[in-house]
Amino acid sequence: MTAEYAHVAGYTAGMLERLTQWTVRHRSAVFMTWGIVILLGALALGRINDHLTAVTDVPGSASATANKTLSAAFGSNADGSFVVLYTFTQADESEIVDMKRRIEQAAQQVPTAMVQQQRAVGGVLYASIGTALPLIEASAQTPRLRAALAQVGLANAMVTGPPALEHDVRPVLAEDLQRGGLLGLALAIVVLLVAFGRSRRVFVPLIVATATVAGSLGIVYLLSTVVTMVLYVPSIVELVGLGLAIDYSILLVQRHQLLRDSADPLMDTARTAGRTVLWAGMTAAIGLAALLLVPIPLVRSLGLAGCIVPVIAVLAALTLTPPLLSVLGNGPVRGMLVSTSTQWWLRVGQLVTARPRSAMLATLLLCALAAAPLSVVQVAPASLTALPREAPAAQAVAYLSKRLGPGVVTPHELVVQVADGTALDGPNDKARQRLAEQLTKLPEVFGVFTDTGSNYVDNTRSFQRIFVIGRHELADPRTSDLVTELRALDPLNFGYAPGARLLLGGAPAQGEDFLATLRSSMPWVVLLILIAAGLALSKAFGSWRIATASIMLNLVSLGAACGIVVAVFQLGLGAGVLGTYRVPQIESWTFVFMFALLFGLTTDYQVFVVRSILEARDNGDDAADAIRSGIASTGGIITVAALAFVFALSGLVFGRIAGLQELGLGLAAGVLVDATIIRGVLLPSTLRLLHRF
């Protein structure tokens, strides 16, 4: 392994040296190229939202088959259905009929729209309007539907449903992205000024971060024209890219400062910190690329966009930082945080190496306490209880939940396939009525809609449709139980002719298939990430023992970070202080993305620390001295890098989208835990107990 490691290290160092020499020699071309990338990225940011969506479908699943059948038979798309609410007081039957007629008249202004059901309950007229449009196209029709309702005298009608929610959440996301980016950038600048003082070096991480975000957004925009990309992608790309690029460039700038008196600081920086950045970025990209194995468009789009960010961050850091340092890297070393923290971290290293077992046990206990809330975690594909309050569609959901129940927004759609032309025959029609009657007796069912009209029986009379309104939202465990109960129904038990087939579509069934697919595919994704990370880290460290220990430490910090997310969002601990939502379930995609990204991010610091320790050992220090030296020399800069990354993520935490809040807090917690407890105590104590490394 030593010979192989030396070969890989020598090849990597030589490659980075040649790249550094080329970028410095052709720095004008490098600056011009990245300037064009930044310009194109800015243009892409203004156009990317038109290609984003919020679908959570699972191709090939039972719900996808049912929804496809419903679309073919009835011309309606579950993701493209609106819900209209109109409140009234003391209306007689004729007035209610007139209101229903007006809603039908307004619906005609939306292409392919058809009123599927209407019901007046407790002073609220509820109408479901289905369309055959995909979610993105249906979302664009939201203003037209609202205007049409106003034209027919129902200006106070509220419009919600998946298309209206997506339409109203888009501007909130855009505003949060702009405000979050400015906040994260401002806080990162403060950290850089503390770290490097009033030095021109401060501009290097900022320029690299700008190039990274612009390059990533440009590529994601191109991909969004051919593959599904979710609404959250720009926020994740911009804020994670900001933090990651600053992280990588800070490591390079700080190492250049330390090596300023060497014969060739730029080459020495490329051989040492450059190699660290390369291995760390590769690990992050591999982890996120593994999400492409999950057969869910939402997760795949996050993985695809996510793996682009560390690749572009590494490319920008390794090609932009050397020429920038050749221009801006001269001058005295300033900054208090890095220069004054060495002695403090040296004392920490001395305490840990003196009592490694005690330090390890105490740290593991602390991390176990942080991870303890995972024992009560509940996950969901999405939530309707944590939406931006200023969005009109979200206000309608809140009102609807209070008056009729949130299940009205996401109904179950049962479709029964019978022999061609027999849907209205006596036996099958009576079977439909018996089935509907049985459904009304289920405790979790709020209402059942069925009839013999065109909304419920298709033109070929081969399909019957029954709308089932649950009492709870799709994220609720009781809704999950209802999905299981509905899928277990046997058409023969209600008198249908042999050969009849029952399918269940709608958002709740789609959500259940989302979670089931995630549960079945994630073990393989995790295994791939662990194997790939093990291979990459063994090459970076030249030791399987250290690579295995590093992976175990990553899992510890991941558990602590996920536990903190559950404690804040599900249990409400500190939610009032942070201004975050309190939700009954955590959105499952956040844990998936956190695992893949944090596994790479936490590797950054461990690679940097371990490489410094190994360098000290190669220079003749014994194991204990090498650990102390490595901790002391990297403590300040890793603290700076971690703070810069956490502040960059503040735009996610203080935004108004629950899933992004969860992701931002989880990533920030993971980075802080890793940069302090793991890197400062658990990593050196583990290395000390390994004896030989």
Per-residue pLDDT tens for 347-376? 887 888 888 899 899 999 999 999 999 999
Residue 450: left (phi > 0), alpha (psi -120 to 50), or beta?
Answer: beta
Give mean pLDDT, residues 507-518. Answer: 90
pLDDT value for 45: 82
Angle at 519 between CA 513 and CA 522, to 5 degrees: 125
Cα–Cα nearest to 631, from 677, 680, 672: 680
pLDDT value for 331: 64
Q: Name the residue type at position 237.
A: V
Give mean pLDDT, residues 465-480. Answer: 87
**Residue 664 to residue 330: CA distance in whole angstroms:** 36
pLDDT value for 339: 54
**Residue 164 to residue 146: CA distance in whole angstroms:** 10
- Structure token pair of residue 307: 């793996």
Q: In the predicted model, is pLDDT for residue 336 greater than 70?
A: no
Q: Any residues with CB less than 8 A from the CB of 453 and at least 6 apart, and which?
A: none
pLDDT digits (tens, 9 = 90+) for 260-274: 778 788 888 888 788
Confidence label for 334 from pLDDT (cuts 50, 70 and 90): low
pLDDT value for 635: 77
**Residue 189 to residue 667: CA distance in whole angstroms:** 20
pLDDT digits (tens, 9 = 90+) for 391-413: 898 888 888 877 777 787 788 99
Q: In the predicted model, is pLDDT for residue 244 greater than 60?
A: yes
Confidence label for 341 from pLDDT (cuts 50, 70 and 90): low
Q: In the predicted model, is pLDDT for residue 534 greater than 70?
A: yes
Strand order in the sheet with 158-160: 114-121, 124-131, 77-87, 158-160
Q: Confirm if 644 and 247 have CB atoms less than 8 A apart.
A: yes
Average pLDDT over the chain reads 85
pLDDT value for 1: 43
Element (H, E) at 246: helix 233-258
Confidence label for 415 from pLDDT (cuts 50, 70 and 90): very high
Least confident of 153-162, 355-364, 597-606, 651-660: 597-606
Element (H, E) at 117: strand 114-121
pLDDT value for 387: 75
pLDDT value for 27: 92
Least confident of 86-95, 497-506, 533-542: 533-542
Give mean pLDDT, residues 453-472. Answer: 90
Give mean pLDDT, residues 292-306. Answer: 87
Give mean pLDDT, residues 90-104. Answer: 90
Q: In the predicted model, is pLDDT for residue 11 greater than 80?
A: no
pLDDT digits (tens, 9 = 90+) for 427-436: 999 999 999 9
Q: Are strands 463-470 and 412-417 parallel, antiparallel or unpaired?
A: antiparallel
- What DSSP string runs through 594-614? HHHHHHHHHHHHHHHHHHHHH
pLDDT digits (tens, 9 = 90+) for 585-602: 898 888 888 888 887 777
Instruction: For the chain, give the percent of residues with pLDDT over 70.
Output: 95
pLDDT value for 692: 56
Give mean pLDDT, residues 466-485. Answer: 88
**Residue 617 to residue 630: CA distance in whole angstroms:** 9
Q: Any residues with CB less than 8 A from the CB of 585 and at least 6 apart, and which?
A: 378, 379, 380, 383, 475, 476, 570
Give mean pLDDT, residues 463-492. Answer: 90
pLDDT value for 215: 94
pLDDT digits (tens, 9 = 90+) for 22-52: 999 999 999 999 999 999 998 988 788 777 7
Q: Which residue has the higher pLDDT, 227 or 340?
A: 227
CA 336 to the chain's CA centroid: 35
pTM of the predicted model, to two decimals?
Answer: 0.83
- What DSSP string runs through 134-183? -HHHHHHTHHHHHHHHHHTT-TT-EEESHHHHHHHHHHHHHHHHHHHHHH
